[in-house]
Amino acid sequence: MSADTLRFELSEYRERLDKARRAMEMAGIDVLVVTDPANMHWLTGYDGNSFYVPQCIVVTKDKDPIWFGRNMDANGCRLTTYLAEDRIRWYEDHYVQSDTLHPMTVLGQVITDEGLGSSNVGVEKDNYYMSASAFEALSAALPNAKFKKADRMINWQRIVKSPQEIEYMRGAGKIVDAMFQRISEVLRPGVKQSDVVAEFTHAGTRGVGPYWGDYTASVPNIGAGADAAAPHLTWSDRPVRPDESIFFELAGVHKRYHCALARTYYLGKPPQKILDAEKAVLEGMQAGLEKAVSGNCCEDIYLAYVAELARYGLVKNGRAGYSIGLGYPPAWGENSASFREGDKTEFRPGMTFHFMTGLWYGDWGLEITESILINEGQVECLSSFPRKLIVID
């Protein structure tokens, strides 16, 4: 792939690789097997819908990384990464979903052929893409290696975004604004939930100006009426009803970078408990955003938010946010820092988070959230859509 078609400058990929190697050195790791597709993309640019079969990036101390995957996906590597031909390795198709063969056996041979079969090998064991069978096969193929956990090692290197990453996320913010604008235009009693989803999905894919819409790492979460008590339900063909709330938790996405956002609508006159919850959430968000400055930490936002909720007799169950940015299915969170008590991750300029202030109770819920960028000074919200309960008469 030519350097002018990569999504980032080659120098940025080199800086990322240097970060990864420093982390490896601190952990005593000689070879790092990276299976998280977001981490693979971050290190090399690889962008393929191929993570349903074993694949990885292998990082060593001195050479360019190795891409390893299914033979038919090697062309995807050639088209999306900076890697030379001799750093692209694959397994044949008869290894796919076989009861007797496993691709990680081939990877073990690749690592051995690199002269690293007796090395300290770091593996992302605690992620969605490394199965128990995969680790067993790799371990058997490298009997002289010493395996070390490398969970979230690369995720933590990704937490401070580059100017180009931030630009992509600002573009995603414009896209999610357009998605909610379309919801506001079509959401009425009697309209099927699935029809509303079709409308904002079209807006999200079409994008805004130069920012085209990529696919999201997570499907939209939607809760209407009593379903709003559950944060992770999706849509149905049920008509939208008058005199009930409905929340939408969506993301605009540009070049795999996400801006997540949630808003709650009420069709009719909201009951007092919804209005009180809105007031508590908005005041809590403001208190939390005031803590979102360099030098403070994740816990500070959480404590400020829940303190305001407590004034209204409300409790936040679960964390109140998480690092966000580059993502692949099944989730857009970066699996690193969280807004919760005890997380002392210090804010630095360039960090981006989804301030997930959602409340879910026995038969109702409310979601009003923001994706934010930490700066030297005042925090930046990546979306400009109105932060409030949206009432449709």
Tokens 């956990």 appear where?
149
- Is residue 381's pLDDT more than 60? yes
pLDDT confidence of residue 4: 61
Averaged pLDDT score across all residues of the chain = 97
Closest CA to 382 of 331, 304, 336, 325: 325
Q: What distance lies between CA 56 and its chain's CA centroid?
A: 18
In sequence order, the 6+-apart residues with CB closer than 8 A to the CB of 265 are 183, 184, 187, 245, 246, 247, 248, 389, 390, 391, 392
Superfamily of domain 163-392: Creatinase/methionine aminopeptidase superfamily (3.90.230.10)
* Second-level CATH architecture of 3-157: 3-Layer(aba) Sandwich (3.40)
Confidence class for position 3, pLDDT limits 50, 70, 90: low
d(CA 334, CA 321): 11
Confidence class for position 379, pLDDT limits 50, 70, 90: very high
pTM of the model: 0.96
- Is residue 354's pLDDT more than 80? yes
Domains of the chain, by residue range, sit at 3-157, 163-392
In sequence order, the 6+-apart residues with CB closer than 8 A to the CB of 16 are 42, 43, 157
pLDDT confidence of residue 275: 98
- Is residue 2's pLDDT more than 80? no
Percent of the chain with pLDDT over 70: 99
For the residues 209-232, what does the mean pLDDT come to?
A: 97
Summarised one tens digit per residue, pLDDT across range 206-219 is: 999 999 999 999 99
pLDDT confidence of residue 5: 80
**What one-letter code names the amino acid at 49?**
N
Summarised one tens digit per residue, pLDDT across range 174-191 is: 999 999 999 999 999 999
Q: Are 63 and 87 in contact (CB under 8 A)?
A: yes
**Helices (H) then strands (E): counts for the chain:** 10, 17
